[in-house]
Structure 1
């Protein structure tokens, strides 16, 4: 990752965290919101399975919040309201779809 620019790495982190941790977690718990503990448990499990450093996905969550895909309300993190129909349908919602839905006005 060191050969990529800062922005390319941030985008890669966001994509990875969304597709490998957050969206599978949302489908698993079947809820629009999750706790930091739920995120951390899922992150740890995925990082062990994929044999990657836990530091990479920790930056991804904050980055997703900055993009508006994830919102923090008190102690809960929730997905953007426009992504709820995907969750209800148990549909695949990749990062490109998520960012597109969030940016639609």
Structure 2
């Protein structure tokens, strides 16, 4: 994940990676709109080991996804934006661009 990109491009790359490799697969795995910090940490550890990625990358990506409103946090529980629930119910692919588009629709 090391790159010569600028700060903002790098943050977007982190968000995209965390969403597609960790968060969305985890949501489909638990088949629920929410997951715990522990579930995220376990999934993150597994994916980072498999892909040989620093564990710091997904941590920044998680915070970034919350800032974008794709993820919401209440205590130790994270949940997806309500507009993403139909994708989860259908077990549909929901890439980062779809997620950000859905969240930004008023």
Aligned residue runs from structure 1 range 40-51, under 5 A: 40-51=41-52
**Equivalent-residue separation in structure 2 for 1:104 and 1:2 (angstroms):** 31
Which residues of structure 1 form unaligned runs of 5+?
none
**Equivalent-residue separation in structure 2 for 1:57 and 1:74 (angstroms):** 19
Query: How many residues are aligned here?
Result: 105
Which residues of structure 2 form unaligned runs of 5+?
none
TM-score, with length taken from structure 2: 0.97
**Equivalent-residue separation in structure 1 for 2:23 and 2:66 (angstroms):** 12
**Equivalent-residue separation in structure 2 for 1:31 and 1:2 (angstroms):** 34
Deviations 1:23-82 (A, max 9, x none): 000000000000000000000000000011111111000000000000001221000000
The runs of at least 4 consecutive aligned structure 1 residues that moved more than 2 Å come to none
2:56 equivalent to 1:81: no
Q: C-alpha root-mean-square deviation of aligned residues, in Å?
A: 0.7
**Equivalent-residue separation in structure 2 for 1:42 and 1:55 (angstroms):** 14
2:105 equivalent to 1:104: yes
Task: Give the Å deviation of 1:2.
Answer: 4.0
Aligned residue runs from structure 1 range 55-70, under 5 A: 55-70=56-71
- Range with greater deviation from structure 2 (91-100 or 49-58): 49-58
